[in-house]
Chains A and B, each alone.
Chain A
Amino acid sequence: MYELLTGPFMWLVFAISFGGLLVRVVLYFKGLSQQLDRVAYKAHLSYGLKGAFNSIFSWLNPVGARAWRKKPGFTLVFFAFHIGLLATPIFLAAHNIMLQENVGFGLPQMPAFLADLLSWTVIVACVAIVLRRIALPEVRILTTAYDYLMLLITVAPFVTGLIARYQMGDYQFWLLAHIITGQIWLLCLPFTKLSHCVLFFCSRAQLGMDYGIKRGGLKGSTFSW
């Protein structure tokens, strides 16, 4: 079972997940319409690209956008959640040993204590996000069961991974559970709103182009997000 899941099945999951995300990006750009979006993408490309980068970088920076600065508590939780979510699986030692064995190269490995810390951060941040959803009326009204399902799918590999790491209960069971939940998460990326992992960049770039071209860029106005 372990061999199957980490072998051919893993390759299939990667292919579907990353291939799917690539398709989402391609379809996004193919689905743009200058006339309907009211942005002349090609005619003012340099202004557009400047606006796109401004937009993306302002929002990847926790103090770059006014919205982030206005809500420091949420911003902290949000960035902690996403940093842990991305960094842990990529730089975890165990993952990179597998990568080394299967494809012959690995990425830098993070120390175990850091991996633990980041995993706990993801879980704690996830709990904070759930509590926020319940506590604030303006977020509660937007929240659906689907949102909770997405959080569950996202946090499950971390919960199962930590249980396996601390060898609580049946190690083999929790290891398999970790692999399966991780694969479910990967498979969900292109087909659910988790696709925002790539579409965030597309959408931000596009609004950035809009601002960089007709909404001020051509008038020499630097837009402050």
Chain B
Amino acid sequence: MPQGKLCNRQPINTDEQLKLTLSDKSGKQYYAEMQELDVDTNALWATIQKTMKSRIKTWLEICAHCGMCADSCFLYQVNDCVPEQVPSYKIQSTLGHIVKKKGQVDNEFMRKCMKIAWSQCTCCNRCGMYCPHGIDMGVMFSYLRGLLYSQGFVPWELKIGSGMHRVYRAQMDVTTEDWVETCEWMAEETEEEWPGLTIPVDKQDAEIMYTCNAREPKHYPEDLAEAAVLFHVAGTNWTVPSEGWEQTSLSMFAGDWECCKDNVNHVYDAIERLNPARVTGTECGHAHRATVIEGPYWAGRKDGLPPKPYIHYVEWLAEALREGKLKIDPAKRIKEPVTLQDSCNYVRNQGLKDVTREILSYIVEPGYFVEMAPNKEHNYCCGGGGGFNGIGLYREQRNVALRKKMDQILDTGCKLVIAPCHNCWDAIRDLEEEYEIGIRWSFLKPLIIGMLDIPEGMRVEW
């Protein structure tokens, strides 16, 4: 059978197709159809010829097969160091084979590639730091995911996720109306406690335009309220756009590059339209990578930068604390051992390692912050990056992957983990559910709100 009804080479572009795919419980029919899906080998090879430039070509050719990348991969470590988990082997036996065969590969091989691309690599880019030749397998796996997506070999949840972005321009079915209503609703609720608080939508020339992760309005609207509280207390002139507020990109995880471009342009359009001085996003790693680090290239921006300075939430927060716009009550500082999860997507991918530690210096009593080992740009992925968290088919493998972070956290002896990234937060929550090691985890926003030294009269105590 060439193309399935649900599993096929066509992206999901309509609400109808989206609902149809969603209604297929756990992707049962979807994966059944995938067993029969034809590979358009000519199109595959044509894409490779057009998009595989000297960097990846050279990387595939000059890999010295030295195995130096093996230990760098947490998935290799947690899977009993089986040689099949060596990063170089994973990419050579998938992308390398497709290139060697000039795209002439079959369905079974493509399914094998899908399994490796989404359950044996989280695109955390750590291996690139340990390869003498500077070969970054994470970059190549992202490329491979693009090839697999174009042929329909993509996990069910990510086909849907990418479809959500295509249909709703958000990773969940949050429409413009839903979003604006949520802003109004959260402003009303929060204003009772914080008189004068607003969530201004589409305000021109603000100091800060705020963007977030669609899961927040959909499932945790309190996160938006918390952001509003902190902007309000800091006296920030801020706004959210009615359109272009969603900065995540499941399409990046899925390898749907066309959709990535469309989404990021949507956010950039909002920036151009509202003309804020700066933009900041929520506590999310992949969203930042998509919109700020990789996005400018998808959009074809020559300087590799978004239209306006676009900072991660940790940068905004550190600045507000540094400048005294937010003040911490010393009595409320954290006085228990606490550790920090460095998100690959803005630490290894944008160098934001010190700014998070600066925040901790304001909110943790000296002597209580315990570093994970290794940390900063050498830190390991939370275990659920690159879409791994959300894929039911590979849940078992994901649960094994969580063990590295579990060991790192246990080694610190801390019971509290600060995770300023949605995905890391989820992974740490899941690892507690799975392994019950007795830890708590938190974003920065609620922690900071609980510690604020609030000017008199600003907050109504109940």
Contacts and interface: CB of A to CB of B under 8 A. Distances in A.
Interface of A: 27-40, 42-44, 55, 59, 65-67, 70-71, 74, 78, 133, 136-144, 147, 193, 195-196, 199-200, 202-204, 206-208, 213-217, 219-221, 223-225
Nearest to B294: A38
Contacts, number: 153
B304 A67 contact: no
A137 B133 contact: no
Interface stretch (B65-73, B177-185, B212-220, B436-444): B65-73
A193 B62 contact: yes
A34 B297 contact: yes
Contacts of A137: 81, 83
A217 B351 contact: yes
B193 interface: no
A141 B83 contact: yes
B239 interface: no
Interface centre among A35, A199, A213 (most CB of B within 10 A): A35
Contact of A140 (B83, B297, B298, B353): B83
Interface of B: 51, 53-55, 57-59, 61-68, 70-72, 76, 81, 83-84, 86, 88-89, 92, 128-136, 293-294, 296-298, 300, 302-305, 348-354, 376-378
A2 B165 CA distance: 70
Nearest to B57: A31
Given A34-B297, A144-B65, A214-B350, A43 B302 contact: yes
Given A67-B129, A142-B89, A196 B67 contact: no
B293 A138 contact: no
B403 to A, nearest CB: 19
Contacts of A66: 129-130, 378
Nearest to A207: B134
B302 A142 contact: no
Given A35-B300, A203-B55, A196 B68 contact: no
Nearest to A28: B54
B67 A193 contact: no
19 contacts: A35-B300, A37-B53, A37-B55, A38-B294, A65-B132, A67-B72, A138-B86, A141-B84, A141-B89, A142-B63, A196-B133, A199-B62, A200-B134, A202-B58, A203-B135, A219-B350, A221-B353, A224-B378, A225-B129
Given A34-B302, A215-B349, 8 more contacts: A28-B58, A31-B54, A33-B53, A37-B55, A43-B305, A55-B134, A219-B352, A221-B354
Contact of A204 (B65, B134, B302, B305): B134
A174 to B, nearest CB: 30
A200 B133 contact: yes
Contacts of A42: 302
B180 to A, nearest CB: 33
Contacts of B133: 196, 199-200, 203-204
Contacts of A67: 68, 72, 129-132
Contacts of A219: 350-352
A204 B132 CA distance: 8
Contacts of A34: 297, 302, 304
Nearest to B376: A224
Given A55-B134, A144-B65, A206-B134, A199 B58 contact: yes
B347 to A, nearest CB: 9
B127 to A, nearest CB: 10
B138 to A, nearest CB: 11
A38 to B, nearest CB: 4
A200 B64 CA distance: 10
A224 B377 contact: yes
B351 A215 contact: yes
Contacts of B131: 67
Contacts of B349: 214-215
A66 B132 CA distance: 11
A207 B297 contact: no
A195 B54 contact: no
Given A32-B55, A55-B134, A196-B62, A215 B86 contact: no
